[in-house]
């Protein structure tokens, strides 16, 4: 496989060096694998720290900045960061108001963030944690006990980040993060397999003419394989799976997310079909985001995430944000 890299062993460090050069608003510690907003710690504000394996960019480093994350910890490709990274991040961004860990539900992430929280509390840092587990495709998978954390991570980090920017205390920021997760559901589909730099070939077999419904962001198996479907048929399947699990009683935010190798031309067309299905089901849409936000390296495919919101949550979503991947109102 052809990749725009030097060698697999340095791919994460090289990416971090490039990120540092592109975004002077960030402090990027390449050696210790921590990305921090340059003005941290911000006096009187709860800090948000997240992280996970590399290969899902812009998640999480691309969401560091005012109105969203205070710091992110990138692990090796598809591998959890280690507790020392999270502890270093928490110590760098804590203003005394406490730190919220946003953790996707993958076994390594959960264990390492739990250990980091204990270490941080030993150093006098108040820590709360929220687990993101929005994927309706499967209950358990190769990497999780329970549901996987996927696209709702973006909604949690943005809305909770806005609550922190308002100066809300840690318990309120944590409660808002949990509220967002509880009101979010996702479903993904793969059109091609993912190739990691270390392996250099597809990590699973997906024959031509077939797709995987309910795929995970590491290439974990989904619900079933089928012959290739149209964009409209995929939207019908994905949205119905979400609404069966979460019949919304409020309007929704919509994320139509690319897995890394799907062009915007296709994602916008897919969004049109998602919006059609939601309209047919009588679901009101208040905001829509389309693009590559929670990716899986070079996987072709897409995911749909719905988050039902009230006026308070919508106001926090609309609040100003300035990060490499998400910015408005500033």
Output the tens digit of pLDDT for each of the chain's 330 residues: 799 999 999 999 999 999 999 999 999 999 999 999 999 999 999 999 999 999 999 999 999 999 999 999 999 999 999 999 999 999 999 999 999 999 999 999 999 999 999 999 999 999 999 999 999 997 766 666 789 999 999 999 999 999 999 999 999 999 999 999 999 999 999 999 999 999 888 888 888 899 999 998 988 878 899 999 999 999 999 999 999 999 999 999 999 999 999 999 999 999 999 999 999 999 999 999 999 999 999 999 999 999 999 999 999 999 999 999 999 998
The yes-or-no answer on residue 218 being catalytic is: yes
What domain range is 120 assigned to? 8-183
**Residue 236 sits in the same domain as residue 284:** yes
The yes-or-no answer on residue 249 being catalytic is: no
Total number of domains constituting the chain: 2
The CATH number assigned to the domain holding 284 equals 3.30.1180.20
Measured distance between the N- and C-terminal CA atoms of the chain, rounded to whole angstroms = 41
Residue closest to 284 by CA, chosen among 254, 316, 313, 239:
254
Is residue 325 situated within a structural domain? no
Tell me which of 183, 214, 240 is where a domain ends: 183
Cα–Cα distance, 191 to 171 (Å, whole number): 41
- Give alpha helix (H) positions in 96-255: 107-122, 152-165, 170-182, 231-245
Q: What is the pLDDT of residue 138?
A: 79
Is residue 174 situated within a structural domain? yes
Q: What is the pLDDT of residue 142?
A: 65
Global confidence as pTM: 0.97
CB neighbours of residue 5 within 10 Å: 12
**190 and 300 Cβ atoms separated by less than 8 Å:** yes
Catalytic residue among 43, 56, 60, 240: 56
Catalytic residue among 43, 60, 218, 249: 218
**176 and 187 Cβ atoms separated by less than 8 Å:** no
* Cα angle value 205/209/215 (rounded, 5°): 50
Q: What is the pLDDT of residue 330?
A: 81
The CATH number assigned to the domain holding 48 equals 3.40.50.10440
Residue closest to 204 by CA, chosen among 186, 222, 180, 231:
222
Q: What is the pLDDT of residue 141?
A: 66
* Cα angle value 72/36/81 (rounded, 5°): 30
* Cα angle value 250/255/257 (rounded, 5°): 160
**Residue 114 sits in the same domain as residue 206:** no
């Amino acid at each position: 496989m052809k990749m725009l890299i030097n060698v697999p062993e340095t791919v994460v460090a090289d990416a971090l060096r490039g990120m540092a050069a592109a975004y002077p608003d960030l402090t990027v510690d390449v050696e210790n694998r921590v990305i921090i907003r340059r003005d941290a710690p911000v006096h009187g504000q709860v800090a948000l720290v997240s992280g996970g394996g590399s290969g899902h960019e812009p998640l999480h480093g691309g969401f560091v900045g005012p109105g969203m994350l205070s710091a992110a910890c990138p692990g090796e490709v598809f591998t959890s960061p280690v507790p020392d990274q999270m502890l270093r991040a928490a110590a760098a961004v804590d203003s005394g108001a406490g730190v919220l860990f946003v953790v996707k539900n993958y076994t390594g992430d959960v264990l390492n963030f739990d250990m980091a929280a204990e270490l941080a509390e030993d150093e006098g840092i108040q820590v709360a944690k929220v687990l993101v587990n929005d994927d309706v495709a499967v209950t358990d998978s190769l990497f999780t006990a329970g549901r996987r954390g996927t696209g709702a991570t973006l909604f949690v980090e943005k809305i909770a980040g806005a609550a922190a920017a308002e100066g809300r205390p840690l318990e309120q920021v944590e409660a808002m993060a949990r509220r967002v997760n509880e009101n979010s559901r996702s479903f993904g589909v793969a059109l091609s397999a993912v190739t990691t730099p270390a392996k250099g070939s597809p990590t699973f077999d997906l024959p031509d003419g077939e797709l995987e419904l309910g795929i995970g962001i590491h290439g974990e198996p989904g619900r079933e394989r089928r012959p290739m479907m149209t964009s409209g048929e995929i939207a019908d399947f994905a949205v119905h799976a979400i609404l069966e699990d979460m019949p919304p009683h409020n309007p929704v935010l919509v994320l139509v997310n690319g897995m890394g190798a799907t062009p915007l031309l296709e994602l916008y067309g897919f969004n049109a079909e998602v919006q059609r299905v939601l309209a047919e089901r009588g679901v009101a849409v208040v905001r829509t985001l389309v693009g590559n936000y929670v990716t899986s390296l070079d996987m072709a495919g897409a995911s749909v995430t719905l988050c039902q919101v009230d006026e308070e949550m919508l106001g926090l979503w609309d609040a100003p944000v300035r990060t490499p991947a998400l910015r408005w109102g500033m």
